[in-house]
Chain A
Amino acid sequence: MNRGYSVSIVVFTIILAVVYLVYTGSYGLVEITIALLVGVGVSLVLAPDLILNPSKMSPRRFITAIYYLVKYFTIIEAKAHWSVLKLILMPSAKYNPAIVRIPYSVTSDYSILLISNSITNTPGTVVIDVDEKRKYLYVHWIDATSVEDQEARKSVSEEFENYAYKIFE
């Protein structure tokens, strides 16, 4: 058992225990014991598959992830909601739906998940298909301003990809 493996088990146990304690909402000694025991059991089985490279875990990445979450659910979501609500509210709104091809350059599965979840969670863009060999996302975009690959990447996924590099790569 090397050092990275045990570090990943400890971190994963703490994450699982915190989720359990937050969900139950009671912080007694019995609850904390149950949370830690179950957390250790689950992470002994799952942590080696879920955390592939323990040396990448650092507090800076966690802080970047929290900063990204806050920014995403306030500023980026509000802008995207407003742009689709305008289409719904204006009676004679013209929009150009298109399925565009967006290249990405990240390698890990978590980064692809973060980028495509971020794209789908913003109203106005939905990921239809992923080509992992050629590294393309196929995105249905309700009001396409550009159909070229790089131009579309700039306005749809560039910001998410920059944060995915900082958090998971």
Chain B
Amino acid sequence: MIDLILFYIGVALVFIGGVMDILATIGFFKFKEFYTRLHAATIGSIGGGLYPLIGVVFIVLGLDIDYNLKLVFTGTSIIAAGIIALATPAGSHILARGVYRSREESPSVIIDRLGEDLERGEME
């Protein structure tokens, strides 16, 4: 019984992850600008990358397989999820900073506090 519940929780998480990946792709085409596309990329990496890995953990725990195999698959998935959670924000942060600082693309925003502070010289 508990195996079946774990298995279906895992399948639901993997399914949600796939749907999020598709929606993030649609978001990439809908948003027209670099900075707003970054938010769609975050959906792809957390909703479409981390949640399916947690789903794999639940699926493997619910399967009727050897105990050692369960340990290997759950452990690898958990560590990979942790690395994704730690590393992807660093990636999108450095992308945003690099594009902003190089003036490659000026953001179309209602207010730009960073630009104001850079112009006034309060932030180097």
A contact set with B: CB distance below 8 Å: 19, 21-27, 73, 77, 81, 84-85, 87-89, 96-101, 116-117, 120-129, 131, 134, 136, 138, 140, 142, 144, 147
Interface set, chain B 71-95, CB cutoff 8 A to A: 71-76, 78-79, 85-86, 88-90, 92-93
Smallest distance from the beta carbon of A74 to chain B beta carbons, Å? Answer: 10
The size class of the interface chain B forms with chain A is 35 or more
Q: Is the CB of A120 within 8 A of B43?
A: no
In the complex formed, the residue of A with least CB distance to B25 is A88
- Residues of B with C-beta under 8 A to A27: 71
B contact set with A: CB distance below 8 Å: 20, 23-24, 26-27, 30-31, 33, 35-36, 38-40, 42-43, 46-47, 50, 54, 68, 71-76, 78-79, 85-86, 88-90, 92-93, 96-97, 100, 107-115, 117, 122-123
Q: Is the CB of A77 within 8 A of B96?
A: no
Smallest distance from the beta carbon of B20 to chain A beta carbons, Å? Answer: 7
The one of A87, A120, A134 that contacts B42, using a Cβ cutoff of 8 Å:
A120
CA distance A134 to B114 in the complex (A): 13
- Residues of A with C-beta under 8 A to B96: 126-128, 140
CA distance A127 to B100 in the complex (A): 11
Q: Is the CB of A126 within 8 A of B114?
A: no
Q: Is the CB of A88 within 8 A of B117?
A: no
A-B contact pairs, 11 of them (CB 8 A): A25-B71, A25-B72, A97-B108, A97-B109, A99-B115, A101-B117, A117-B86, A123-B42, A123-B43, A127-B93, A128-B100
| Contacts A81-B20, A85-B23, A97-B107; A126 near B39 (Cβ below 8 A) | yes
Q: Is the CB of B75 within 8 A of A121?
A: no
Smallest distance from the beta carbon of A61 to chain B beta carbons, Å? Answer: 18
- Residues of B with C-beta under 8 A to A89: 23
Q: Is the CB of A85 within 8 A of B76?
A: no
CA distance A153 to B66 in the complex (A): 49
CA distance A22 to B30 in the complex (A): 40
In the complex formed, the residue of A with least CB distance to B44 is A123
CA distance A88 to B71 in the complex (A): 38
Smallest distance from the beta carbon of B55 to chain A beta carbons, Å? Answer: 13
In the complex formed, the residue of B with least CB distance to A23 is B79
Smallest distance from the beta carbon of B75 to chain A beta carbons, Å? Answer: 4
- Residues of A with C-beta under 8 A to B76: 23, 25
Smallest distance from the beta carbon of A129 to chain B beta carbons, Å? Answer: 6
For the complex of A and B, list the 8 residue pairs with the smallest distance between their C-beta atoms, beginning with the closest. A25-B72, A120-B89, A101-B113, A25-B71, A88-B27, A22-B75, A138-B114, A25-B75
